[in-house]
Amino acid sequence: GQAFLQIDRDAAGSFDFTRFTFGMDVDISLNADLVELGNYVRDGEAGADIRINDFALGSVNDDGTLSPFNIQDPYFELAFETVDGKEELVGVRLGFTEALGKLSGNIESLTGNIQVNVIGTADPIYEESNIIQRGLLAFAGVNRDTVLQSQAVLVDEDGNESQIRATRVGIPNGTSLSCVSGCGLLSDILDIFGSDGCEILGIATCFPLNTFRTLDIGDVENGQSTQGMFLSFQTKQVFWLDNGEGTPTTPGAFMNIPNGGISVDFEESFNGIERIRTKFLDPYYD
């Protein structure tokens, strides 16, 4: 019983937390026509905090076998706040100590902390560039084989970081590309060219969420899971604790996928990612 269910209590500021962790290794294949959370009028506008059509976890291989979504040590947590001497429930979250697999869907809106590692060769950037932009890239020490990296988050249409009901993901304003390998002598000049208004040197740096129809959670190819993924609901801002560190969340529904949880290359950024097969009879898969 102790190995299967662990109960922990913690406190931070005015909040008390009770977490129930289940010692389980879960493989799941799940499909839902619609996942819609937090559907209410927010800042005078109707909509949903999280809305994903044709949602799926896991995939079906071409030979008909399943590649499930793996969850290790899932947990359920409650957040309480003492108000006028009484404890009030202010938040609930469902979290995964480790997660690995394919997440698919048509993402219409997303509220949360989503950190995407963008890394790959600059060849797709050259393909999207005109002759002047290619000259600027070459001046900055970037060729087609140069490996570049940056961090993408949820943004608005102007490139400002936006965690609430976002429809786009991109390199936020002021963030630049860094050179990983194959760098020219002047590659340090890249730090001068930060993203501004969803562009770097006139090249797009923000993209609609609904073009990424399937995303890897963790390093699926190498079997390395990611930590810190959770879905929460709270009536006010709550700092959910993990290993002594707090993740701030906004009121309403909130999804957290921290750095390292998702990685894409520049080809996928510009052209999106096709949906993988998620059903044995799948209308989205030829």
Q: Is 11 among the domain residues?
A: no
Domain of residue 190: give its range.
29-63+100-286
Q: Is 6 among the domain residues?
A: no
Confidence of residue 234 (pLDDT cuts 50, 70, 90): very high
Confidence of residue 285 (pLDDT cuts 50, 70, 90): low
Q: Is 10 among the domain residues?
A: no
What pLDDT is stored for residue 1 in this prediction? 45
Query: pLDDT tens across 104-157, in order?
Result: 999 999 999 999 999 999 999 999 999 998 998 888 888 999 999 999 999 999
Mean of the per-residue pLDDT values of the chain: 91
Take residue 262 and report the two structure tokens written for it.
């998702």
Q: Is 74 among the domain residues?
A: no
Give me the mean pLDDT over the 236-256 stretch.
92
Residue 187 has pLDDT above 70, yes or no: no
Number of domains the chain contains: 1
Q: Is 73 among the domain residues?
A: no
Please list, residue by residue across 224-247, b when 16 or more beta carbons sit within 10 angstroms of its beta carbon and e when fewer do.
ebbbbbbbbbbeeebebbbeeeeb
Give me the mean pLDDT over the 194-204 stretch.
91
Residue 2 has pLDDT above 70, yes or no: no
User: Closest Cα to residue 264, out of 71, 147, 144, 120?
Assistant: 120
Q: Is 192 among the domain residues?
A: yes
